[in-house]
Structures are given as C-alpha cells and as structure tokens.
Structure 1
Amino acid sequence: MSFLKSKGFKYLKNLLIGVGAAFVLAGALFKIESWEGASEMLILGMGIEAFIFLFLGVIGPEPDYYWDKLYPGLSNYNSDIQPLIAGDVGAATTPGLNGEVVEQQLGGMLTELQTMSKSMSSLKALQEADFSGTSEQIRQMGNFYSKLNEAMADLAETAEDTKAYKHNMEQLNNNLGQLNSVYGNMIGAMRGGLQ
C-alpha cells in the first residue's frame, strides 16, 4: 500500500493517464479525418482509456486536503500529536485577554457594522430611484416611438394624397387645354363664317 502513495507511482499513474488520453485523441483524429487505420487506433485508445478508468477505480482516490502539511500526523489516528499549549490544559483560560479591550473592540466593530448597514440602505434607495427613473424613461421612449410611427404613417398617407392631387391636376390641365383648343377652333370657325 505504501507503493501506491510513493512519488514514483504517482508519476507513473499520471504518465499512463496522459498517454492513454493521447491515444484516444489520436484515434478520434484518425476517425474524423477518415485516415487509414482509424478504427484500430480508436479501438486501441478506447481500450487504454477503459483500462485507466478500471485502474483508477481500483486504487481509490487521493485525499484532496492538505491539512497534513499544517498538522503533520493528522491523517494517522495513532500518531502522537503534541498539544498546542504545553502543560496542564485544565480550565479554559486565555492569558493576556482583557475583557475591557475585547468589549471595546466589539463595540467598534458594532459601530462599523451599523455604519455599513446605513450605507447599504442608502445605496439601495439610490438604486431604486435610479431604476424607477430608468423605467419611466423607457416608457417615455416607447410613447415617443409609437407617436413617431403614427406620424410616419400619416406622412405616407399624405404623400399618396399629394400624388393623387398632382395626377388630377395634370388631367384637369390636359382637359382645359383640349377645351381651350375646341373653343379656339369654334371661335375661329365663327369668325371665318362671318367674313
């Protein structure tokens, strides 16, 4: 069991995982590119990866905490850990702590917390005011865009009416020109008939 915790074994385990992953990726690349030997390469890589997973399941996980570095012997229940305070650990008295000093420090902390609470309340009120103003501006912009769309629609209708008016005026002008020509011919014929 000590071999499983040795540096050499950890290095070998990481090497095996890396090489296995490289074979799987190479097999996938061969398969994607449809190169020759792709199936064999993928089978070899997947077989190695299956072996790695089986291997990792058998050896068990590594502990992921590092308290042993701070407190050597913590993971071993039989180790002889020395107490932090030498001598008799009877009453829970802490030398050097003055109750008044602690009370003053706690009072200062309480004052700071109250100040922070007031600041947070102010920030919250400011944020609410900003957001309510923003929502009002968004609503006004929506109203502006709807009125702008109505004005554009009215303008489009006016343009159509103007085109129709121009067309009617051209027809009226043509009709008046023709009527003028007819009256001119009639007057000319009457003058010619009178002479």
Structure 2
Amino acid sequence: MAQSRNTKKLFNYAYGIGAAIVILGALFKIQHWSGGGTMLSIGMIVEAAVFFVSAFDSVDEDLDWSLVYPELGTGNAKDKDRNEARESQSLLSQKLDDMLKDAKLDASLMSSLSESIQNFKGAAENIAPAVDSIAATNKYSEQLSLAAAQMESLNSLYKLQLDSTSRQAEINEQVTINAGKLKEQMESLTTNLSSLNDVYGGMLSAMSNKN
C-alpha cells in the first residue's frame, strides 16, 4: 500500500513537470524563441514515458461499502426515508384537523361565512350609488362656495370703484371751489393794482407841478 502511494506521488510529479515542460516548449515555439523545439521534445518524451510506465500500475480495489452501511446494498434507507415522510405528512394532517376542531371551523361555519361575504358584497354594491351621489353633492357645494367667493370679490371691486368715483367727484368739486376762489383773488388783485396805479399817477403829477 505504501509502495503504491509513493508510486502515485512519483507519477503525479512526473505528470505535472512533464506537462509544464510541454506547455513551455509550445510557448517557445509559438513565440519563435530559441530552445522551444528542445523543451517541447523533452516534455513530450517525459509524458510518453510516464504514460508507458503507468500502464503497468496496479488497479485500485473497489471497496464494498455495503459491509459498513448495509442500507446501501438493500435499499432500506430509501424505504425508511419514505416511511418517515409519510409519517410526517400524516402527523401534520392530524395536527391540522385538531386545530380546526379546536377552533370550531366546520362546514356550516364556512358556509355561513361565505353567505356573510356575499351579503357584504351586495351591500357594498348598493352603497356605491349613494356614495356617488354624496360625491356629486359635495362637488356642487364646492362650486357654490367658489361662486359665492367670486361674487364677494366682485362686490368688493364694485364698492372700491364707487368709493373712487365718489372721491373723484369730491376732488372735482373742491377744484371748482378753489378755482372760484382763485378767480375772486385775481379780480381783487387787479382792482388793487388799478388803485395803486392811480395813487402812483397822482404822486407823479404832484411832483411834476412842484417843479
């Protein structure tokens, strides 16, 4: 046994080294480097020698593992696994049945639940039109609120326009009054200037007579 192991190790070394030399020789040949042909030849010779000697190597004996694991020979392991799987499924089914019994989930209860679901579905279908009507009413109310807000804005603008018009009328009236007063002041100024000219003319006449 020890001799066989050493021989295998020797062959493994020879295989690896020979293959490495062959690969390097091929690389040298491809690259056209010097010595490529020699290395390739040496590697091929080593490989050929190793294959030749390995032809006389002893064949490994097949071990009968059924002696250690009897199930491998009779197939009882698969049958055992199948039986365990069936037992597990049966146990799981039994547990589910027990849980349903404890929760009192029988056929009548499931039928009643189905009827309740159908009734709820019908009620929901009947509620749908009412929901649509409520939505339309809410939308109409929103439109009314928007229209009221717009009317309020228009009223505010109209009131502002009226206030501006009233103020403009007051301003125009005040301008008219001021224009009248200005006219009166201009007439009084004209009269005063005329009187002043008369006085000035009298003074000039008196001064001329004295001379």
Q: Give TM-score, length-normalised by structure 2.
A: 0.38
Higher-Rg member (1/2): 2
